[in-house]
Amino acid sequence: MGGDREGKDFDRKLEEMGIRIKDADSRKVRGEVFDENTLLALYHLVHKKKLSAIGGSISTGKEANVFLGEREGKTVAIKIYRMRTANFKAMAEYIIGDPRFAGMRRTRKDIVFTWTKKEFANLKRAREAGLPVPEPYAFDRNILIMEFIGEDDTAAPQIRNVELEDPEGVYRAVVGEIKTLFQEARLVHGDLSEFNILWREKPYIIDMGQAVTREHPNAGTFLIRDIRNINRFFSSFCPVEDEDVLVREVTGGTFRPLQPEKEQ
């Protein structure tokens, strides 16, 4: 009985804020990630006309949940980072050393908010470099609104769940994306694997929150780890290049940190 009353109160609060629940059980939505900061962020996004509705869950993770949403009549993905359970110490490893966010305070809230801003900035840079990543639309506090990669409200599958007709061709495409990310967007993904590459006629790279600039002190280590992960996955389906050869290919034969960048 208490749960029903709580659910109705939550629904009413969303309605008062102008947030519409679309095709979803709002009690399930409420139970996952919603707190005061998240509701405030939703309120701002709705009233800035960056979002008109929130729908069902696409994925659930330790750090964030992703929901369907609606923006200007179009389906979008809404990524909401968890304020209570996000591993802010692990997040800090990817932020500290990134000159774009040198002034960040190291509280849990500030780290999560900076991470959201960082993913928006990284996606924007990757898109501008011509990479197949979700287009970022807006962010506020711990919420990021971006392009939905999928069809008819069904998310595109992770590449690990797809039977590839030409695995060697896809492998080379992914290597090309790592190279473009490094050379054109001047970023290293930092956690690339078969779990954050979606397949929709071509490979789409997602989960760009941890991506670092080339001058980050751990950029070289992260790049080698990305290449190692991709080689591990594709080695079951096709021949793969030597790790050192790929590092030279991706970096153009050398790895030289660039001048520090200002926050974007």
Domains in the chain (CATH in brackets) are 11-151 (3.30.200.20), 156-251 (1.10.510.10)
In this predicted structure, what is the pLDDT of residue 105? 76
Q: Which residue reads 């991470």 in tokens?
A: 115
pLDDT digits (tens, 9 = 90+) for 3-33: 455 556 666 666 777 777 765 555 555 555 6
Q: In angstroms, rounded to a whole number, what is the distance separating the alpha carbons of residues 146 and 78?
A: 7
Nearest Cα neighbor of 118 from 46, 213, 54 is 213
Q: In angstroms, rounded to a whole number, what is the distance separating the alpha carbons of residues 55 and 72?
A: 15
197-209 per-residue burial string, b: 16 or more CB within 10 A, e: under 16: bbbeeebbbbbbb
Nearest Cα neighbor of 73 from 90, 108, 56, 49 is 49
| pTM > 0.85 | yes
- 69 phi/psi in degrees, rounded to 5: -150, 180
Q: Cα 27 to the chain's mean position, in Å? A: 25
In this predicted structure, what is the pLDDT of residue 106? 75
Is residue 137 within 8 Å of residue 147, measured between CB atoms?
yes
102-116, 120-134, 233-247: range with lowest mean pLDDT: 102-116
Is residue 110 within 8 Å of residue 101, measured between CB atoms?
no
Q: In angstroms, rounded to a whole number, what is the distance separating the alpha carbons of residues 208 and 124?
A: 10
Is residue 77 within 8 Å of residue 68, measured between CB atoms?
yes
Burial (0-12, 13-18, 19+ Cβ within 10 Å), 262: exposed
- Tokens (6 digits) for 21: 């629940």
In this predicted structure, what is the pLDDT of residue 3? 46
Catalytic residues: 191, 207
In this predicted structure, what is the pLDDT of residue 198? 98
Strand (E) or helix (H) holding 126: helix 108-128
